[in-house]
Amino acid sequence: MASLRLNQVFFSWEEFFETVSKYCAETYQPFVKSSCKTCSQANKYVKPGQRMYPPEMGYVYYRYSCTHAGTFKTAGSGKRETKSNKQGCEAKILASLDRKDKTKIVVKQINEEHNHEISPLLFESYVQQRQLSKSEKAIAEELVRLNIPSKTLQIEMSRLSGKRLIVQDLHNIRKAVRLKDKLAAASGTDGQLDVHQVETAGRSETVSTLPSLHKAHSSANAEARDVKTNDNPRYVTFTRPGIPDWCFDLHTNAPSLMSLVGVIEDCWVFSLAQRISEPFEHTLIFNRELRKDGYMNFQTDYEMNMAQAFYTDSLSKWPLRAKYAYGMHTSCFVTNFLELRGAASEDPMVRVTMCSAFVNSKTRKLVRSLPEWFKRTLDGKENLQKGLNIERLAPRPNETYRKKMMVLLSDIDGNKHTNYKVYIRGCYDALQHAITTKEMLRPIKIESATDGPSGEMTGTNPNVGNPSASANDSHKEVLPKWLTADIMKKGIKTLRAKFIKESLCGEEVTTHVWQERDKPLWVFFSMERETTNGNQVLFEMSLEYFGLMSNL
DNA sequence: AGCTGTCAAGGCTCGCAGGC
DNA sequence: GCCTGCGAGCCTTGACAGCT
């Protein structure tokens, strides 16, 4: 327990502030700073021959008064009946530099006699306890800019900060953000956000480009060469640098999943920017043009297939030959695909098919139909007979491996929601975590150069590092049963993902991981939001591993 | 429920009165 | 005469009431 007593000595103001802060929290006394004098200010009035205050000490004195100190004197015009905290409470704390040794801070006065009630509940409700830190305020401001309702903001920010916020606090932040943005617009500078104006036909739309995973496209695209577009069927091909060494897992000949997803995104973003001039100047599949017309596209389905050869040393992964093709469209869904080939190979080593839903950028609701000009220009130029539609997973079992994660500000993309890669990464992280835990719990294999063939010791690994993964932990029952780290090293054969609902910064989501008896090389994921009405599924994913490849 | 104008409170600086 | 600390003034932030 922090103690504070008369004549107590401190050697820095930080030490004093920390002690007072702890003391207030433990005794529920609402002290606020009421007065101080800085050394630099006091030194201005020091006369010749007089001793200076050491500037490094910061303050000459510092006084706290009770938030109920003083009397209320209105400065208003009498339009409203006013309330005031002021009720003449005399409680105060005063500390100042020692008269002789000005490097010491001495507590000169303490009066703890308050003329009002002191209680934990009251203490929590004072504005000082509700104030957000700079970083918390920055997050709140970002969320305000994302147009999240005040009530949701109140709940999320209270959970994030652990403070008892009221809705009015969020209204005040909203007001400050509006003012800040107005001033930034007036001065012609942008605020903390990277905001740019996108010209659209007859109007302008402000698009926020938060720092995000989605923005981190590699410079490899700048080195793309042999770019060729084809109108009918519609596709673009190009050669670009391969996958850098640092993207590769230690134990496989293929890049880690997230690195590969990143390279794939680089390729498709590059492809979308390619222009075709006949019959008029436009981009490959009109993504930019559709955006200007008030459409946004949200990823809905994603399937990645890897060839066995992808995991062999013999297949060169540098440079990469890429082909991105328009697949087909239905009323508001567009399916496209990307193929990556090695320098000398004709068969694609990776093929990704992706389906996007087009929504109204204002209402974020599915549009009834894509524009006529889009259909007119692309009809007949399809590369696919049917679109991608990943089936929903069967209801998950109750017994799963679970991992929670918080959606961070940097996870939000230009569409103002959690970027698709964050879901994939979250699932993959949960799987890695589950497998690591499982590895720690398995019987130890002892390999010795002198003892000959490896033996097996019963019991659990004594080096289990995860305290939640003890032998009696319920997680032991729900770890993936058939998948092992060894199987995972053989590489992913198929990834299927379905994006179901949006999620926002500050939300806590739970990833469930499980396996099914008849599919030992598959692992399934469901990312869910817990609500009072039960769990809402945001995202589903399944991974299939190459498990039986003896030649690797 | 959310927004907004208005007023209160907080936080800081500075000048000076008065105690030691 | 030195130095502490009170309190006024100013700006920013928070809270409230009334309106949409």
Q: What is the pLDDT of residues A392-415, one digit of tens each?
A: 898 888 889 998 887 877 777 777
A311: its two tokens: 């995991």
> Which residues, other chains included, contact A54 with Cβ-Cβ below 8 Å and sequence gap of 6+?
A39, A102, A103
| Residue A79 CB lies within 7 Å of the nucleic strand C | no
> Helix, strand, or coil here: A325?
strand
How many Å apart are A175 CA and B3 C1'? 9
The Cα A66–Cα A123 span in angstroms is 12
With b meaning 16 or more CB within 10 Å and e meaning fewer, what string describes A71-92?
A: eeeeeeeeeeeeeebeeebebb
| Residue A131 CB lies within 7 Å of the nucleic strand C | yes
Nearest to residue A504, comparing CAs of A446, A418, A402, A429?
Answer: A418
Angle at which helix A167-187 crosses helix A134-145, to 10 degrees, equals 80
| Residue A32 CB lies within 7 Å of the nucleic strand C | no
Q: Are A134 and A39 in contact (CB under 8 A)?
A: no
pLDDT tens string A340-395: 998 777 889 999 999 999 888 777 777 878 888 888 888 899 999 888 999 989 88
Lowest mean pLDDT among A8-22, A77-91, A171-185: A77-91
pLDDT tens string A101-157: 777 788 877 877 777 777 776 776 676 666 676 666 766 776 666 666 666 667 667
Across all strands, nucleotide nearest A127 (CA–C1'): C14
**With respect to CATH, is domain A391-449+461-552 assigned 3.90.1150.10?**
no
For A8, phi then psi, to 5°, come to: -65, 140
- Residue closest to C18 C1′ by Cα: A80
How many Å apart are A182 CA and B2 C1'? 20
For A286, phi then psi, to 5°, come to: 65, 20
User: For position A324, what pLDDT does the model report?
Assistant: 96
Instruction: Compute the residue count for chain A.
Output: 552
Which chain B positions come under 7 Å from a protein C-beta?
Answer: 1-16
A202 Rama class: left (phi>0) / alpha (psi -120 to 50) / beta: left
Strand B interface, protein residues by Cβ within 7 Å: A 32-33, 35-38, 41, 44-45, 67, 72, 74-77, 79-80, 82-86, 126-128, 149-151, 167, 171, 174-175, 178
Which chain C positions come under 7 Å from a protein C-beta?
Answer: 1-8, 13-18
Q: Going by DSSP bridges, is the β-strand pair A350-360/A333-341 parallel, antiparallel, or unpaired? A: antiparallel
Q: Are A323 and A229 in contact (CB under 8 A)?
A: no
In Å, how far are A176, A185, A398 from A180, measured between CA atoms?
6, 9, 48
In Å, how far are A150, A181, A265, A334 from A175, measured between CA atoms?
12, 10, 38, 40
How many Å apart are A46 CA and B15 C1'? 13
- Interval A46-52 mean pLDDT: 65
Nearest to residue A490, comparing CAs of A423, A438, A550, A419?
Answer: A550
| Residue A279 DSSP one-character state | S
With b meaning 16 or more CB within 10 Å and e meaning fewer, what string describes A96-108?
A: bbeeeebeebbbe
pLDDT tens string A220-264: 666 778 889 998 899 999 998 887 666 776 556 667 888 889 889
**Average pLDDT of chain A?**
74
Terminal-to-terminal C-alpha distance of chain A: 62
How many Å apart are A9 CA and C8 C1'? 31
| Residue A101 CB lies within 7 Å of the nucleic strand C | no
User: Is the confidence at residue A44, as pLDDT, over 90?
Assistant: no
Q: How far is CA A407 from the centre of its chain?
A: 4
| Residue A81 CB lies within 7 Å of the nucleic strand C | yes
The one-letter amino acid code at A505 reads C
The Cα A304–Cα A261 span in angstroms is 9
The Cα A350–Cα A287 span in angstroms is 23
In Å, how far are A69, A78, A281 from A74, measured between CA atoms?
15, 8, 67
Beta-strand (E) ranges in A307-380? Answer: 320-329, 333-341, 350-360
Across all strands, nucleotide nearest A86 (CA–C1'): B9
The Cα A271–Cα A262 span in angstroms is 14
Q: What is the DSSP string of A80-143?
A: S----S------EEEEEE-SS-TT-EEEEEEE---SS---HHHHHHSHHHHPPPHHHHHHHHHH
- Residue closest to C12 C1′ by Cα: A176
How many Å apart are A406 CA and C14 C1'? 29
> Helix, strand, or coil here: A436?
helix
| Residue A50 CB lies within 7 Å of the nucleic strand C | yes
How many Å apart are A415 CA and C13 C1'? 32
Beta-strand (E) ranges in A22-58? Answer: 31-38
User: For position A183, what pLDDT does the model report?
Assistant: 60
The one-letter amino acid code at A139 reads I
The Cα A155–Cα A42 span in angstroms is 45
How many Å apart are A158 CA and C6 C1'? 38
Q: Are A443 and A462 in contact (CB under 8 A)?
A: no
Q: Considering only residues A186 and A123, tell me which one the structure prediction assigns the higher pLDDT.
A: A123
Which superfamily does CATH assign the domain made up of A246-389 to? Hotdog Thioesterase (3.10.129.10)
> Helix, strand, or coil here: A193?
coil
Question: Count of CB atoms within 10 A of residue A261's CB?
Answer: 21
- Residue boundaries of the structural domains of chain A: 1-72+83-130, 246-389, 391-449+461-552
| Residue A133 CB lies within 7 Å of the nucleic strand C | no
How many Å apart are A49 CA and C13 C1'? 42
